Chain A
Amino acid sequence: MIANFGFGILLVTFFVTVYSAVTASVSNPKGLALVFCGIPTRQTRLIADWLEKRDNPQQSAALVESARRAMLLAWPLLTLASGLLIYLLINNHFEVQFVYEVTSRSMPTYLKVTAWWGGQAGSLLFWSWLMSAFASLVTLRKWDRDREFLPWVILVLCVTLAFFIGMTVFFENPFAQLYQTPAGVEAYLIQPADSILFTPEDGRGLNPLLRHPGMIIHPPMLYLGFVSFVVPFAFAIAALITGRTDDRWIRITRRWTLWAWLFLTLGLVLGGRWAYDVLGWGGYWGWDPVEIAAFMPWLTGTAFLHSVMIQEKRGMLKHWNMLLIILTYDLVIFGTFLTRSGVLSSVHAFAQSAIGPLFFGYIVVTFVASVGLIIYRWGSLRSETEMTSLLSREALFLFNNLLFMSILVVCFWGVIYPLTSELFTGSKVTVGPAYYERANGPLFAALMFLMGIAPLSAWGHSTLKTLGRAIWKPTLVAVVITAIIYTTYTQNVYAIIGFFLVAYVILVTLYEYLRGARARQKSRGENIFTALWNLTGRDRRRYGGYIIHLSMMLMAIGILGIELFQLETQGTLEVGQQKSIGGYDVKYDEIAQFIGPDGREVTRAVLSVYQDGAYLGELYPRIDYYFDAQQQMTIPGQRSTLKDDLYILLVSWEPASATGATFKIFVNPLVNWLWMGSLLFLVGIVIAAWPDKEPERVVVRAEKRIRQASAAD
């Protein structure tokens, strides 16, 4: 009953969003006529003429209002549908296929709620729900200055929404129920003739791998990031259609983009943390196609964040920004599909799903249509100024963009390599993590290098001389630090290059901070702390950005550490035996097996850790066996310090045999810096994205003044 009701609500929501999209698009015949003018055939000319004649401002405003209200309905409707689904999940309604697949009686209630996004059908609904919330939020802003954008923003948001809800309604419905027919048990949306509802005794339970705090927050974060990138895209398309192609759309969506980026980054980091804690292979990132699918919109989004600044400050790269946001949008759609569809972890499997071709079709159509709009508006997107100096800030930003695109190309090429190689050579060839590391390593290094010089270069024109004057001090200190690292820590070439760049970027960033604060100190007589505080407050995007740069460097330290210096050993120990690795001595004390509260059998070992004879504590690696899902999970015992992580896995232990237990032990140097970096990242981006109290214009002027001060220094 409830499931049928939920299905009905979804259907209604689908029609509401379709109505909203259609109404929004017909509300402005003039705008629509412009679009048709772009296609130079006689028929479209006629349609355009006809549309032009139908222009009626009063009626148009009424239609837009109608579309807007319809869009506002989507969120309450989807909230109701989601509430119904959660009700079904909590109350063990196993006759609903989705509930049967992702929950079981032994799961605690909070996990049953989060099972909402534990499977494909539910997570599509979750995506749509977030999207509708954001669509409602967008309409709440003040539109007076941007009325002409409204119908087109509604159009884009509602087309996206309708596509996802349509997927949920027609292909991946979380409300489909199981029916017993003469042919067997099958899931149907509507009860077929001579069948009875089939209710299994218990559900199959959420995959235990997904029952982890990281995995509970990771998908919503990633989805928030994905969904909020739709908003800047909607404004970009609105700008293209209305022909208002100045940087207004960028200014409106600046904060959206930053929040989108925040969530996406956090989603990626949490995914890494989950892999580190749960997957039990001592790593955090495996260059799996699914991970890359979530990483690709991050790359274009990051490039976009940087290049919009060029458009705001210098009026350049307008085509490029449009292209970046369009790419980001389509990669978001691609990522949504690929990341949450369970089994699909390769491109081959992708095409096998029923909704795969539809997603591909949607991506192709939206991409072609959007790029068509760019071409149509090509002339009005011309740059206002010209780039002159290779070392100017804008040129360095452009290189930064090219590097991000290069990494994107490397990743994309890696994902499609099996397909292209089969097409051209006949044999399927795949690439693994080694490919991505080798090809991306130098690109990441180049990005870090740019991070170290761009903040010191001036807009418009910079020469080696002016740049050199700004750079030499931090460079010198970085060289000294690197020399110390070389003599005391490592002689590995890659590590030395990496640590040099990290030290250099951190120094440049701090130096730049200090210079700004000094200037304030001198001119306004503030003490250094007030000066730092006010400096950040005055130009939050810039200084928040610097904090983000710093956080990326901390992450880089962690990545260099674990990638280049990871130690591992494995072996079978009897009670009382020891094993040594990386300065640690690990003693196997005891092991116990017991039944946990939520339907799992826990095998837990106790090990004592010593370093140079000093007792440091105990670690408890364990194996959990989940009865409902018939799957076991290996949970590492970890001891984290700033220097390294000791990471112990219990590999196997047979109660009957007297041979002892087998362990695999990793020492992951510096990896904690990766997680600390992500916390600092959070601070930086909140500083950058926090809403302004002052009106925009005043802030922009203040920004310019400070920048001139620091560039002239």
Chain B
Amino acid sequence: MKINKFVIGGLLILGAVVFLIWNAASSTSEFFLTIDELQAKGPDIVDKNLRVSGAVLGDTIQYDPQTLTLTFEVAHVPADGPDIETEGGLAEALYQATIDPSRARMTVVYIGVKPDLLRHEAQAIVTGHLGADGIFYADELLLKCPTRYEEAIPDQAG
């Protein structure tokens, strides 16, 4: 009898937690895709919650401070560890992505403050949705510059 009470209480909490996780995850989760995967999915993916990573192409960055509209293109980079390793690390993979014209590319539009880290060869992780026009409308923009930490070898001086 005495034990039962606590078992029921524990099960209730467990049930509540499972429900909370399921509920929160199902309504807020985002598909994490590379640009290749995104383009392979075609129109089904329009308007779903997405998170896409790509290499920023520096020449394409445009910012209109009047409307705070930021537009730039990203090129496909692999998302899996081993694939990145075969390309020689994240910094190298990003570099390869920016110089390879055959890579799939995607235009991103973001309204807001231009992040400090947005620059050529940075890895952009954008969260938002793909419009029917093929442009990615980002609600959130995350940037990583692996070169800041990883590139150990200085340019040969003198």
Contact = CB atoms under 8 A, between A and B. Distances in A.
B11 to A, nearest CB: 11
Given A406-B17, A428-B32, A570-B68, A652 B114 contact: yes
Interface string B32-53: 1100000000000000000100
A629 B148 contact: yes
Given A207-B148, A406-B13, A659 B153 contact: no
B83 to A, nearest CB: 10
A382 interface: no
B102 interface: no
Given A418-B32, A439-B23, A352 B116 contact: no
A662 B29 contact: no
Interface residues of A, number: 67
B152 interface: yes
A432 interface: yes
Given A119-B149, A399-B13, A429-B31, A410 B20 contact: yes
Nearest to B158: A201
Contacts of B63: 652
Interface stretch (A34-42, A179-187, A223-231, A598-606): A179-187
Nearest to B89: A352
B132 interface: no
Interface string B74-114: 00000111001100011000000000000000000000111
A348 B34 CA distance: 13
Given A429-B29, A429-B31, A632 B116 contact: yes
Nearest to A342: B149
Given A185-B156, A390-B9, A406-B17, A432 B140 contact: yes
A386 B149 contact: no
Given A185-B156, A348-B81, A428-B32, A631 B148 contact: yes
B5 A431 contact: no
B132 to A, nearest CB: 21
A428 B6 contact: no
Contacts of A438: 20, 23-24, 27-28
> In this complex, which of A349, A406, A431, A570 has the most chain B Cβ atoms within 10 angstroms of its Cβ?
A431
A7 B16 CA distance: 53
B29 A431 contact: yes
A698 B32 CA distance: 59
A170 B116 CA distance: 35
A429 B30 contact: yes
B113 A343 contact: no
Interface string B119-158: 0000000010000000000001000101011101110111
A100 B65 contact: no
Contacts of B27: 434, 438
Contacts of A431: 24-25, 28-30
Interface of A: 97, 100-101, 119, 178, 184-187, 198, 200-201, 204, 207, 280-281, 342-343, 345, 348-349, 351-352, 386-388, 390, 395, 398-399, 402-403, 406, 409-410, 413-414, 417-418, 421, 427-432, 434-436, 438-439, 442-443, 570, 572, 629, 631-634, 649, 651-652, 654, 659, 662, 664
6 A-B pairs with least C-beta separation: A342-B149, A439-B24, A438-B24, A428-B32, A434-B28, A662-B65
Interface of B: 2, 5-6, 9-10, 13, 16-17, 20-21, 23-25, 27-33, 51, 63, 65-66, 68, 79-81, 84-85, 89-90, 112-114, 116-117, 127, 140, 144, 146, 148-150, 152-154, 156-158
Given A204-B154, A399-B9, A430-B31, 19 more contacts: A100-B152, A198-B154, A200-B157, A280-B113, A280-B116, A343-B146, A343-B150, A348-B81, A349-B81, A349-B90, A386-B2, A387-B6, A410-B20, A428-B33, A435-B28, A439-B20, A570-B68, A570-B113, A652-B63
